[in-house]
Structures are given as structure tokens and as C-alpha cells.
A and B are shown apart, each in its own frame.
Chain A
């Protein structure tokens, strides 16, 4: 199984409530994925800066003195915001590579969850409502967010095996389903220079879309192409800095329901995930068609 929720706001007045709405949506999907949970929240970008979301199993040790270490390589004062096992590091955009090299060299316990102007990703093993509370999802604000509750099938129950996966700046993907050709695709993508953190099939899907977008496709085109190249069951919900996309495989066994009003677009694995949204009674509610790309951009 697995549960997916996604909310893309069209009405800026709702932005302060994004985290609260998504936390409610996620809480309805606990039975679908009690192993672990995660979410990506797209907040306001700050000009010239990049946000790096980090995770560590030993945050006291790994995040201690991190600001000092980053200041030395970035030659500026970073902003470090630690929440439980995660930390968001804000640095000048041009120093991201140097900062990541520093982390790789001297802080091997730190994993990079995401990099980008807007995105922050939080994910952990544990019951979804607990994971959401641990990171304070309910009080986060932003323009769009994607959440996932995981019942593992293709790889171990670990923090890194939880969703969302991010394989490119401001990109993320969550997946319900299982891919059958992920090993061969992973080998191909590795040959093209893409690195992987896990043995997870969904990470391969994320990396696949990233590689297509690196070749110049937009998200919609990359999703369209994935129908030719990915074999297996999938509902994907993907986010970019300004976009939100949904695709289902041609067989479309995995459940999906969408709703749209003038104020928002939402995705849920089940209708239960959508019932708390403002104006749901009047929303257009539909089941996304198989092998069809749905894509919104602000």
C-alpha cells in the first residue's frame, strides 16, 4: 500500500495554513502506510539563497559546530534551523557545491534530504502523525506540499527509504506502487552520472525524471516519457519549485482521487484525505485517468 497526499494552493491567503491542512490530510492516511512518513513543503524562496535540508541519526553530534564549518567554506554566515533529526541550512546559492563537499568530507553521518530555493523535506521512520508532529508540519506555511505514508515493499524501512525522494534542485517525488525495472534503470542512470542513496525503486523514478529534466524536458514532458520507460505500478505525485504534477500507470490499480476549487488543487490516495479541505463540498472531485499527465504551474 502507501498513502499519498498533495496540496497545491492557488489562493495565497491559504499559504499560512498549508502545513495544517496537509497534516490533517496525512493523518487520514496512517493505515495505508504506518512504517514511515515524510513530506516536502515549498515555502517562500529567499533571493540568492539555497536551502539544504539535512538529516542525521545523531543530530546532537552532527549538527554541533556545523555553522562554523559551513561559514569557513561558504565565506558567509549560514542560517541553521535544527528540528529534531533534521536541519535546514540556508546558504548563498553559489556555495551549495562547496558546502555539500564539506559535509561529505567531514560529516559522513549527515544526509542531504533536499536542496533548492523553496523545498524542505522531512521524513522519518514512525507512525505518520508522530512524524508530522515531530517536525511541526501543522504550523508550516508555503505554496504547495506533498506527503507520503509508507508501507514498504521494495526496500528496507529506513529514514532514507521513506518518501519524498529528491534528486534535483527543488524537485521531489512520492510513489505508491512498485517498479519492476528499477535495477536496470538505475544502472543506466548511474552510467549517466547520477548518484543514488538507496536501493529503493521510487528513488529511481525520481532520478529518472530529474535526468529527463536535465536533458531539457519540462516536468510534464518528463512524466509523459516515464510512461514509456517505467515498468510497474505507480501513482506519482511530484513537485517542483512552482509546479505540481500527477501521473498514474496505464493499469491504474493504485487508488487516486483529485479535487480542485478556485483556491487549491489536491491529491489523495483516498477521498478520506480530502474531506477536511475548505470548500470540499463544492469542489470538482474526480479520479485521475490512467496514463494521463496532470500538471499545475503557478
Chain B
């Protein structure tokens, strides 16, 4: 993207959110206006939701629920913190939160990269289905619950019940894990995992951290199918 691309600035203190989102939805693959700046979000919900074009969107301030939800192709950076459900069901592209993220960041995400530079709270990556999430701080309880695929990288600590009922997602945690959820176990870090983790850290702009500092967690694959011996547990 060259300097000749003009920056489109949209002030949410002056114009309605629906108009902004409608305008973003009008942008297609070959759009001329690829650089966007959103001012005064003041905790608004659903900022830049459903974008389906390779836009570069900077949000100057903190946002409320569902920012960048369902994102496809766009790079969305929040210069502040994000409320619940940031990048929920993201398909592709990249979402960066410079501050903290609230509950269920990246929930059900199918692709793309979510980077949280601060902490993410509970249920981070719940039911993730292919998204990659890198959290530079710590994550709260019940994170990666029923996570199906994709990777969750945590440079800090993880809260209670990490990876409960997990399927095939990969969880890399550098700090402590308060407890593991049902069917989630620590797994060996093989060469392919070091390689994958190094690539994710690089994509998220993390340097000076060795992949050997991380432990990998994943599914013990004992809850995949109904087992008659477990009937008492239901």
C-alpha cells in the first residue's frame, strides 16, 4: 500500500455507526479507499463488523461488543481495549487489540490472526475453528473451550479449565496454567510445533521469546465419541 492511498477518516462522535459499517461493506476487493481511521469509538458496539475487503482499519480508542466480528481479509487495529467478542467468527485477515480484550475474544473464529497485546479475559478462543490467536498477556478461565482447530498462543498465564473438551486446536502457553479442563493434556513439543509457534510469534510481531519457553496442550481424544463406560458421568 503506497502513500498515495488517501486515508478515510470517520468520526463516530459526528456520524452514526451504521453508516460507517454500511460504507465499509460497500468496499470490495478492488476498492480504492483501503486505509480507514475511526475516531471516537467510545466503547461502541459492532465497530467494523462484517468487513469483506482487504482494508486497513485503525480504530482510535476502546470499543464495546463484537468489534471486527466476522472479519474477512481486513487488517483491523484497535488502539485501546475491546469489549466482549472481539473478532468473533473471524474468517481471515488480522485483528490487533493494543490493550486488553474482554470475554470470548476470537470465539468460533474460522481463520485469520487475532493478536491481543494486553490480557484477554475468560473464554478466549472458545469453540475456535481455525483462527490463530496470540495473547501477549494472560488469558482467563474456560479459554479454548471446545476448541476445534487453529492455535492459541499465550505469553503469560492461563486461567482455570484451559481447553475443556478440546478437539484438535493447539494451545501454547508460556506461563502457568491454573488448571486443565476435561480431556485437555500437556503434549510434547516436537519440531513441527516449534516451527509453527515460531511462525505465529513472528506474525504477531513478538521477538526475543524462545519457543522452548512454551508448553503445548491439546486433546487426549477420550471424549470424541460416546463411550458407554462413561454413561454414569452424564
- Hey, which bits of chain A sit against chain B, CB under 8 A? 28, 250-253, 255, 257, 270-275, 285-287, 289-290
Q: Identify 11 new A-B residue pairs, CB closer than 8 A, beyond the known A251-B142, A255-B83, A285-B62.
A: A252-B103, A255-B84, A255-B102, A257-B83, A270-B83, A272-B64, A274-B43, A275-B43, A275-B62, A285-B99, A287-B121
Q: A255-B103, A287-B121, A290-B122 are in contact. Are A271 and B84 (CB under 8 A)?
A: no
Q: Closest CB of chain A to B66's CB: distance in Å?
A: 12
Task: Report A-chain residues with C-beta under 8 Å of the C-beta of B140.
Answer: 252, 289-290
14 A/B residue pairs, CB under 8 Å, sorted by A: A28-B43, A250-B141, A252-B141, A255-B83, A255-B102, A257-B83, A270-B43, A270-B83, A271-B62, A275-B62, A285-B62, A285-B99, A287-B102, A290-B141
Residues B121 and A272 in contact, CB atoms below 8 Å apart: no
Task: Report A-chain residues with C-beta under 8 Å of the C-beta of B64.
Answer: 270-272
Q: Closest CB of chain B to A252's CB: distance in Å?
A: 6
Task: Report A-chain residues with C-beta under 8 Å of the C-beta of B141.
Answer: 250, 252, 290
Report the nearest A residue to B120, measured CB to CB: A287
B221 within 8 A of partner (CB): no
B81 within 8 A of partner (CB): yes
A252 to B124, CA, bound (A): 13
Residues A272 and B103 in contact, CB atoms below 8 Å apart: no
- What sequence of 0s and 1s flags, for each residue 34-70 of chain B, a beta carbon within 8 Å of any chain A beta carbon? 0000000011100000000000000000111100000
Task: Report B-chain residues with C-beta under 8 Å of the C-beta of A252.
Answer: 103, 121-122, 140-141
For chain B residues 123-159, which have a beta carbon within 8 Å of chain A? 140-142
A66 to B102, CA, bound (A): 50
In the A-B complex, the 4 residue pairs with the smallest Cβ-Cβ separation, listed nearest first, are: A272-B43, A271-B43, A275-B42, A287-B121
B164 within 8 A of partner (CB): no
Q: Closest CB of chain A to B29's CB: distance in Å?
A: 33
Task: Report A-chain residues with C-beta under 8 Å of the C-beta of B102.
Answer: 255, 257, 287
Report the nearest B residue to A281, measured CB to CB: B61
Residue of A253, A274, A286 touching B100 (CB-CB under 8 A): A286
Task: Report B-chain residues with C-beta under 8 Å of the C-beta of A286.
Answer: 100
Task: Report B-chain residues with C-beta under 8 Å of the C-beta of A257.
Answer: 83, 102
Task: Report B-chain residues with C-beta under 8 Å of the C-beta of A28.
Answer: 43
Report the nearest A residue to B121, measured CB to CB: A287
Task: Report A-chain residues with C-beta under 8 Å of the C-beta of B103.
Answer: 252-253, 255
A231 to B141, CA, bound (A): 18
